[in-house]
Chains A and B, each alone.
Chain A
Amino acid sequence: MKKHLLSAADLSRDDAELVLATAEELRSLADRPIKKLPALRGRTVVNLFFEDSTRTRISFEAAAKRLSADVINFSAKGSSLSKGESLKDTALTLEAMGADAVVVRHWASGAPHLLAHAGWARSSVVNAGDGTHEHPTQALLDAFTMTRHLGSLDGRRVAIVGDVLHSRVARSNALLLTTLGAEVTLVAPPTLLPYGVEGWGVETSYDLDAVLPKADVLMMLRVQRERMNAAFFPSVREYSRRYGVDARRMATLQDHTIVMHPGPMIRGMEISADVADSERSVIVEQVTNGVAVRMAVLYLLLGGSQPAIGGDDA
């Protein structure tokens, strides 16, 4: 694996499969009374969050702690409008504190890339979601969840439905799932598909009903109500009618098809309560798997085949 995980495109098929296999081993830890391994003892993982995301931060925190790493949570306030301390100065501070890995969530697309390549710090950088760009560990946990239910993803059909335009989850999944051999279809109203999506090497559709019967996985994305104010769709009601999944639509799925959602869900908008709580729904399991996958990522980036002590590449 590379030193950083900035994009799902950084992962070769071998890399991705190694992460998934490692996560499978680490997942068994969750069932033990003592949920801790010494693999990253003495290593420091910083959770650097420029944007609030309690669930992602907790997931990374749990992952690092279960590997015995020291965890520092660094919540850096500031937005594109009100600039706080600069990313550079934050990076220099973390470098001075001896961070081995920086898990970064940022409102700006490309911020993790900058952190990794601007020469400010030597630590490994894990992208925990940047702007409308990518969220590669979410894609890994999604792929991991799919694999556990469906086995190999070769030739499996995954429908990703919703606000693809603003979704870093969709971007990372489109890349990773394609790498793993799945056939991805992005389903959205034309306004919520990115310009130039034809070049992504995935299928697109405006017609959810046509896609459902063929899908092995149905992944619903969150759609913010405010988007209708910017004319992406006329109303919540119309969006739900055309692109929301409810019991009627769920009935057209194949028996083995699973329903996923990266959360947080808006019940009644993109997904109805009876679908979210149904047997097919693996939404809660995604959260559990998130910890295992993030453990695997941290382990492979920081420890891997090298000993946890004395393996510094600096």
Chain B
Amino acid sequence: MTDYLIKGASVLGGEPRDVLLREGLIADGSSSGAEVVDADGLVMLPGLVDLHTHLREPGREDAETVETGTRAAAMGGFTAVHAMANTEPVADTAGVVEQVWRLGTEAGYCDVQPVGAVTVGLAGERLAELGAMADSAARVRVFSDDGKCVSDPVLMRRALEYVKAFDGVVAQHAQEPRLTEDAQMNEGELSGRLGLRGWPAVAEESIIARDCLLAAHVGSRLHVCHVSTAGSVEIVRWAKSKGWPVTAEVCPHHLLLTDELAASYDPIFKVNPPLRSATDVEALRAGLADGTIDVVATDHAPHPHEDKDCEWQAAAFGMLGLETALSIVQTTMVDAGLLDWAGVAERMSTTPARIGRLAGQGRPLEVGEPANVVLYDPSVSRVVDASELASLSRNTPYAGMELPGRVVATFLRGRPTVLDGKLC
């Protein structure tokens, strides 16, 4: 195994120093024989961990596969992703989660940690065999019906209680189904004008409030997926002020884009939860800065061209996120003075790894720790070209947009998955 001496990296944005990667670990001592990587001007962060990724395999290999999705992840600086359960078949058995986990290991671009479905077939009717998934080779700890809400309060309560037995967490897609039937975009003045059915903030906030109360009542860990409204931030802040075991994530697109984009009727901007108002964007940034929102998660959602090249109402929800996440966080948080690089490391690596109970990820950049690192150049900028993405799909909302920063290298346990900005 090749050793790497990373020279002059600004670790977490601090003073430049050399870091030696040897035998899969961050090491000290002699660097003789190590390949030198010039990291002058580059920021070193622990390998990023995504709590919310759709890899689409099995079932929708026309949109993404574990291999293409993890290549995209590596290009985005990730060393671990949580693969959501809404595949075909649904990841609601030990068999499916082990398949996804094995595919990830074989691909080798980053750790793939499957998320297990909370309910059988995501149908919201009865619990999936959560314990079997937890005990499987995939060692599932995060359970989610993402894409659908566990809306039945009794089922949600039981799920929260049940996963305590193996230190699991339920990641809720907070969307009250009756309030969002056929919903197409954020409910606001614009949805009324455009004649697109509204997805009101209250449909998210009411479920979050309920689930926070349930989590407190039964003493279980709750994780709230893709928080998108100012009200949701307030509710999570309130729950945390009570000391309740609640964590929350925000997606990069919700930190940057607003519902005004729907006026184009271009479904590239159709996503669930929908893009919200500028006020919501401000509140999400503030919430991420002050720690109310614990992590940034991509909700990377690949779709084939034909599912986006159609009427808004007929189009699929979701957008790509892995390869642009760090750039969006730089532009919305770091460059805006809301977060330093240490804060980015915490919200995109340390904390998501802790929530997902990933032992070897999100560790400090210290001697003896696993060599999961990313080198990032914040000084350059690029115009996003959808055709250049490693993902199999092309549905990025940022095409043609100039974004700061570039992932120069990603190391997974000392082995480069990306070097000189290219996949290895």
Contact = CB atoms under 8 A, between A and B. Distances in A.
Nearest to B195: A133
B192 interface: yes
Nearest to A113: B265
Contact of A131 (B187, B195, B200, B306): B195
A196 B195 contact: no
Interface centre among A107, A130, A194 (most CB of B within 10 A): A194
B188 A195 contact: yes
B195 A109 contact: yes
Interface string A69-92: 000000000001001001110000
Contacts of A133: 194-196
B299 to A, nearest CB: 24
Contacts of A131: 195-196, 313
Contacts of B242: none
A108 B193 contact: no
Interface residues of A, number: 29
Contact of B311 (A106, A168, A171): A106
A78 to B, nearest CB: 9
Is the interface on chain B under 10, 10 to 19, 20 to 34, or 35 or more residues?
20 to 34
A86 B267 CA distance: 14
Contacts of B193: 171, 194, 196, 200
A87 B310 contact: yes
Contacts of B196: 109-110, 131, 133
Contacts of B191: 194-196
A88 B308 CA distance: 11
Contacts of A228: none
A251 interface: no
B273 interface: no
Contacts of B310: 86-88, 114
Nearest to A230: B181
B314 interface: yes
Interface in A114-131: 114, 117-118, 130-131
Interface of A: 80, 83, 86-88, 106-111, 113-114, 117-118, 130-134, 168, 171, 194-200
23 contacts: A86-B306, A108-B313, A108-B314, A109-B194, A109-B195, A109-B196, A109-B313, A111-B265, A111-B311, A114-B266, A117-B264, A131-B313, A133-B195, A171-B193, A171-B195, A195-B187, A195-B191, A196-B187, A196-B188, A196-B191, A198-B189, A199-B189, A200-B192
For the complex of A and B, 9 pairs with smallest distance between CB atoms: A196-B189, A133-B195, A110-B265, A194-B192, A108-B311, A109-B195, A132-B195, A199-B189, A108-B313
Given A109-B265, A171-B195, A195-B191, 11 more contacts: A109-B195, A110-B311, A113-B265, A114-B265, A130-B195, A131-B196, A132-B195, A132-B197, A133-B195, A199-B189, A200-B189
